[in-house]
Structure 1
Amino acid sequence: MIAGLSSLLVAAIAVTTWWVLDQRDNIDYVTAQVTRGAVTRAVTATGTVNPELTIIVGAAVSGIIQELYCDYNTEVKKGQVCARIDPRPYQSIVDQRKAELAVAKAQLEKDKANEAYTKFALGRYANLIESHAVSQDVFDNAKNAHDQAMAQIVFDEATIRLRQASLDAAQVNLDYASIVSPVDGTVVSRNVTMGQTVASSFQTPTLFLIASDLAKMQVDANVSEGDIGGIKPGHKATFTVDAYPRRTFEGKVTQVRQSPQTVQNVVTYDVVIGVDNSDFALKPGLTAASRIVVDRREDVTRVPNQALRYVPRSLPRAALSDHARVWVLRDGRPEAVTVVTGLDDGSFTEIVSGDLKPGDLVIIAEQVATANRATMPRLGR
């Protein structure tokens, strides 16, 4: 029995080393060369082209749009007026607050004069009470009048501060009637027209959308949770847009955002790809098909992935191996070579070790023709 098992083992080892063809079959092999080159692993994702910074410009006060200075594609500078709400209601409030402040200041001057008089009177009564020329009640009344005059001055000063604050608030609202750009940029959206009434009582209305710098854009790519682990800031990326089907844009990953986005139980993460747009070819909102390089090996021995999937048709199941293996055509006969693989980019696989060298022919498929059968291709698993 031991002798029988030994015979079977020797036969299995022999089958894994070389394969003897059935003489009744005429087999043609489809081969590919072992080459040296780059193997690149990349993640593909779709996304949207957006400006790096987009500012929503709204109205802080309500009113009627009286003047409109900015339109779509208008180049604006920081502080430039884009629209103006009718300022008359707010100007009248400012004028009223100025008048109230003036009254408060006048009242302060009046009360200062009164305080000076009561102070003088108190001093006089103080001298008279020493000579018993006036009663204590007269002196006490004079002192009380002076104390009240001093308190009135403190009250007047507080009133002036209050009136000044009211005037400042009214002035702020008047300034808000002028809608200004907060940054240098380009108007990409205008949501208001002349004569339109805007109401900011409950929610700030959006009047303009301004992109800070259209010469620098970004792609917000939606990367699946299965691929996000390999992506890091600094990775190179390329993408295409339908507007320029023959052009490939280049960029780098600038940010991998932590917030997940779940749509129909599919979890994705926003990966931001920065791209130079000096020629202003890219427009906000374009759909981008991106390819992010997560690993790359230069000048390595590589084989087509089909070679690793190929298995000879007549190979017994017992001869199959759990180790990576390719079949090399040597002297017209296939020979199994066990290899250690590295990076896989979907088309080629890096060969880390194994009896392979550039120029060797690896089998990727076969075609078998017999007298009783039509030609049938043998592809990899």
Structure 2
Amino acid sequence: MIRKLFLLAAVAALAAGGYFYFRKPEPALSFLTAEVTRRDIVQTVSATGTIEAVNTVDVGTQVSGTINKIFTDYNGIVKAGQVIATIDPILFEAEVAAAEADLAVAQAGVAEEEADLNDARRDYERKKTLFAKDFIAASEVDTAMSTFEGARARVTSAKATVLQARAKLDKARANLNYTTITSPLDGVVVAKDVSEGQTVAASYSTPTLFTIAEDLTKMQVEAAVDEADIGYLREGMKALFTVDSYPSDTFEGYVHQVRFQAETEENVVTYTVVVRVDNQEMKLKPGMTANVTFEIASARRVLAVPNAAFRFSPPGEAAGGDLLWIAGEGGSLRALPVERGLSDGLFTAISGDVEEGQTVVTAVTGTAKATKKADSAPPRPGMF
């Protein structure tokens, strides 16, 4: 009996020892943390656009003909009124000569009709006198009066013919003047679409020969801003942008105009925002693509945490809200209520019972005996 009791006790001891031997404590959770830091938070709206000259003029021709001579080229500096091309004027000079001849004929016709009018007036006056003395019949006076009125009408018609001839002459002279193409403004030739000897036709539309930018030291960006962001933008607002040609340079401008006209492409609605910028160094050129950032709000030197800190929640807890979490011993967590401020998409300004340098949890990284610590940069994608 004693032996049996001894065996039972030994079995019980072995079982208890095995239980405590094989049972291991739950490992503590390991967290990725970030420090509460002081930084500038700037809220922005991004867009892309095209750099253009502030004022660009397409120079064309109102008459058809053969380009006789070109006096400028790409990047040429031109002044207002400067001759930049000519069209062969021979046909237009002939039209002027013909119109001058037609005008001379019409003027001669007026002189002839006026002479007839004077004869008809004298005959009418003479016959009225004779009729008053009963020397002629009344019918002769009536005939003379009709002749006089007819001569007066023909003079009026001849004078109208002169006006028509003069108008044709003015048109012919204007067309001749149009064969000399001049620059309408001081500027730079940014495009040339014609060559000497080329025939241009202006029958249905005015062909563009040159494109002249008024002043390339002042440029503008025409940026397409999404309808969801257009409400944030105001005239005078600061704008920064970069171009691929100078990736390390940041150019600064201001919002000159927010246009009301909407553009729709593939069901995406955008509005054009014009940003004016100084270009004294002549780095910016028409047609460049600009990546624009509009600063719509800012908070300077405020306490901030990575946005991932607000997306973290302990196992079993709902995410979100205005709670941050601080890791304690053994994988424990303590809630830290804060008030959210401005966010730039990566960091969020906070206020409340929080101090600079304090660490907050941004993600669970696994199980370990100690808590890992990250720098103040946001966690890498996939860590939360």
TM tier, smaller: 0.7 to 0.9
Distance of 1:160 and 1:166 partners within structure 2? 10
Of 349, 353, 356, which residue of structure 2 is paired with 1:355?
A: 353
Q: In 1, are the aligned partners of 2:322 and 2:340 still within 8 Å (CA)?
A: yes
Q: Deviations along 1:141-171, whole A, 9 cap, x unmatched?
A: 2211211121112112211111111111112
Q: How far 1:29 moved relative to its partner?
A: 5.1
- Pairwise CA RMSD of aligned residues? 2.7
| Residue type of the alignment partner of 2:323 | R
Q: In 1, are the aligned partners of 2:33 and 2:363 still within 8 Å (CA)?
A: yes
Q: How far 1:334 moved relative to its partner?
A: 4.8
**Number of the residue aligned with 1:33:** 36
Are the structure 2 counterparts of residues 321 and 263 from structure 1 closer, same or farther at C-alpha, using a change threshold of 3 Å? closer
Distance of 2:129 and 2:358 partners within structure 1? 125
Q: In 1, are the aligned partners of 2:51 and 2:284 still within 8 Å (CA)?
A: yes
Greater shift in the superposed pair: 252-261 or 207-216: 252-261
**Number of the residue aligned with 1:340:** 339
**Number of the residue aligned with 1:240:** 242
Q: In 2, are the aligned partners of 1:369 and 1:376 still within 8 Å (CA)?
A: no
* Matched ranges for 1:128-147 at <5 A: 128-147=130-149
Q: In 2, are the aligned partners of 1:190 and 1:208 still within 8 Å (CA)?
A: yes
Q: In 2, are the aligned partners of 1:337 and 1:354 still within 8 Å (CA)?
A: no
**Number of the residue aligned with 2:210:** 208
Q: How far 1:107 moved relative to its partner?
A: 1.6
* SS across alignment from 1:247: strand
**Number of the residue aligned with 1:180:** 182
Are the structure 2 counterparts of residues 376 and 364 from structure 1 closer, same or farther at C-alpha, using a change threshold of 3 Å? closer
Q: In 1, are the aligned partners of 2:34 and 2:305 still within 8 Å (CA)?
A: no
Distance of 1:301 and 1:27 partners within structure 2? 25
**Number of the residue aligned with 1:285:** 287
* SS across alignment from 1:105: helix
Q: How far 1:376 moved relative to its partner?
A: 12
| Residue type of the alignment partner of 2:321 | H
Q: Deviations along 1:38-86, whole A, 9 cap, x unmatched?
A: 3211112222111112211112111111111121111112222211111
Distance of 1:260 and 1:131 partners within structure 2? 88
* SS across alignment from 1:248: strand
**Number of the residue aligned with 2:194:** 192
Q: In 2, are the aligned partners of 1:39 and 1:297 still within 8 Å (CA)?
A: yes
Unaligned runs of 5+ in 2: 1-24
Q: How far 1:224 moved relative to its partner?
A: 2.3
* SS across alignment from 1:117: helix
Greater shift in the superposed pair: 60-69 or 231-240: 231-240
Distance of 1:191 and 1:297 partners within structure 2? 51
Aligned residue pairs total 352
**Number of the residue aligned with 1:370:** 368
**Number of the residue aligned with 1:164:** 166
* SS across alignment from 2:197: coil
Unaligned runs of 5+ in 1: 1-21
Q: In 2, are the aligned partners of 1:304 and 1:347 still within 8 Å (CA)?
A: yes
| Residue type of the alignment partner of 2:145 | K
Distance of 1:157 and 1:342 partners within structure 2? 84
Are the structure 2 counterparts of residues 325 and 49 from structure 1 closer, same or farther at C-alpha, using a change threshold of 3 Å? same
Distance of 1:38 and 1:376 partners within structure 2? 23
Distance of 1:255 and 1:32 partners within structure 2? 41
Q: Which has the larger radius of gyration?
A: 2
Q: In 1, are the aligned partners of 2:33 and 2:359 still within 8 Å (CA)?
A: no
Distance of 2:198 and 2:29 partners within structure 1? 84
Greater shift in the superposed pair: 261-270 or 277-286: 261-270
Distance of 1:305 and 1:189 partners within structure 2? 49
Q: In 1, are the aligned partners of 2:310 and 2:320 still within 8 Å (CA)?
A: no
Q: How far 1:102 moved relative to its partner?
A: 1.5
* Matched ranges for 1:1-381 at <5 A: 24-25=27-28, 27=30, 30-35=33-38, 37-311=39-313, 315-317=314-316, 319-320=317-318, 322-328=320-326, 334-351=333-350, 353-365=351-363, 367-370=365-368, 381=384
Q: In 1, are the aligned partners of 2:31 and 2:373 still within 8 Å (CA)?
A: no
* SS across alignment from 2:205: coil
Q: How far 1:282 moved relative to its partner?
A: 0.7
* SS across alignment from 2:248: coil
